[in-house]
Amino acid sequence: MLRPLPGAARLIKHLHNHRIPIALVSDSPKSNVMGKLNHQHGWTELFKAVLGGDEVQKGKPDPEIYSTIAEKLGAEPDGCLVIEDSPTGIAAGKAAGMKVVAVPSLRRKASKNQYDSADLVLSSLLDFKPEVWGLPAFQDWICNTLPIEPWYVGGPVIKGFGRGSKILGIPTANLPTTAFSSVLSDCVCGIYLGWAALSDRGEVYKMVMSVGWNPYFDNTEKTVEPWLLHEFPEDFYGEELRLVVVGYIRPEANFPSLEALIERIHEDGRIASSALDINPYAKYQNHPYLLTPLCQKDEI
Ligand code: ADP
Ligand code: RBF
Ligand code: MG
């Protein structure tokens, strides 16, 4: 079964609750689209119209599919906002005279110029700000953070690029990405907050972490790099690290200087540190995943 993109359910429910008409457009035949939609509980009723590739003469990048859906919605093209992940879809939306927000697919390292004709490129739907487009703003951000469905990852701390402490003065305890490659490929690159534990020590720490390709260093691999907000007297390579990731802060970014990157990471640390004191985040501090010994992990 296909899983919706992070932030998709939140977005369509929000728009529906505010009575903003939404439609689904795809190059695939309508029957395929409906099949997929029916697998997402309660989604079919949220869309005012659905249009499949078999219902128009010309597919994307031709504007026909978007012009047709505007007619079905009884909307003027310049009053429509398209959210697209493909370059041909962006071209179709623009040719139809609509505003287009590009949200490139999660799995690839984005090569930006493919999306240049979009009005805005986002790294994920979590960064979509409806008020920019004259739509009602989300009300679910708390203390500059967005609560997410928690994810749980863990593994032995491995050697990273040897950069965190040396270049930034900020150590990040790298995890082996092979251990949870499916979680990793499904999650949005960005900066997150949560709780961390080194399972042999029986203590839980606040943490803030980056997930992704670190644009400033232009890595070739997607990594998970938590900075534990605690002073440790020594390294802890090889120890079992558990993370419960509870909220999102921002997309990964590039910075004009190393100092600007460092300053922003410290700001992320302050944001995480104060947000984690309150619910819905504080309650996860006691989650059993954090301190359960390895051999019992499968039973949670
Ligand atoms: P690497 O590139 O090998 O990850 P870093 O310079 O990022 O090296 O340092 C990370 C290491 O520093 C961790 O693996 C851990 O052993 C140690 N460390 C000490 N304090 C912390 C902390 N507060 N948060 C994360 N790692 C820490
Ligand atoms: N690297 C980037 O290139 N862009 C970022 O926006 C970014 N944000 C980070 C936020 C946090 C909280 C942390 C801990 C790291 C961040 N880094 C970012 C990653 C940093 O580049 C990484 O720690 C180094 O690559 C060292 O391995
Ligand atoms: Mg590191």
Reported as a pLDDT band with limits 50, 70 and 90, residue 3 is: confident
Q: Is 229 in the pocket of ligand 2 (CB under 6 A)?
A: no
Residue 100 C-alpha to ligand 3 middle, in angstroms?
37
To the query of whether residue 225 is one of the catalytic residues in this protein, the response is: yes
Query: How many Å apart are CA 80 and CA 25, to the nearest integer?
Result: 13
Q: How far is CA 292 from CA 63, 146, 286, in A?
A: 55, 27, 11
Relative to the alpha carbon of 241, which ligand is closest? 1
Q: Out of 80-89, 127-136, 152-161, 277-286, which region has the weakest mean confidence (pLDDT)?
A: 152-161
pLDDT mean across residues, the chain: 91
User: pLDDT by residue (tens digit) across 102-119?
Assistant: 998 766 665 667 888 999
Mutational test site, ligand 1, from 163, 166, 207, 236, max ligand atoms within 8 Å of CB = 236
Query: How many Å apart are CA 122 and CA 133, to the nearest integer?
Result: 14
Relative to the alpha carbon of 159, which ligand is closest? 1
Q: Is the pLDDT of residue 141 over 80?
A: yes
Q: Do you find a cis peptide bond into 280, omega within 30 degrees of 0?
A: yes
Structure tokens that stand for 273 in this block: 């540190």
Q: Do you find a cis peptide bond into 256, omega within 30 degrees of 0?
A: no
Q: Is 248 in the pocket of ligand 2 (CB under 6 A)?
A: no
99 by DSSP, 3-state: which?
strand
Query: How many Å apart are CA 131 and CA 10, to the nearest integer?
Result: 15
Minimal-distance CA residue to ligand 1 atom 21: 171
Q: Is the pLDDT of residue 81 over 90?
A: yes
Catalytic residue among 225, 240, 263, 267: 225
What strands lie across the sheet with 99-102, from one edge to the other?
81-84, 99-102, 120-121
- Whose structure tokens read 């490929």? 185
Q: pTM for the whole thing?
A: 0.91
Mutational test site, ligand 1, from 165, 205, 210, max ligand atoms within 8 Å of CB = 165
In this predicted model, which residue has the larger pLDDT, 230 or 294? 230
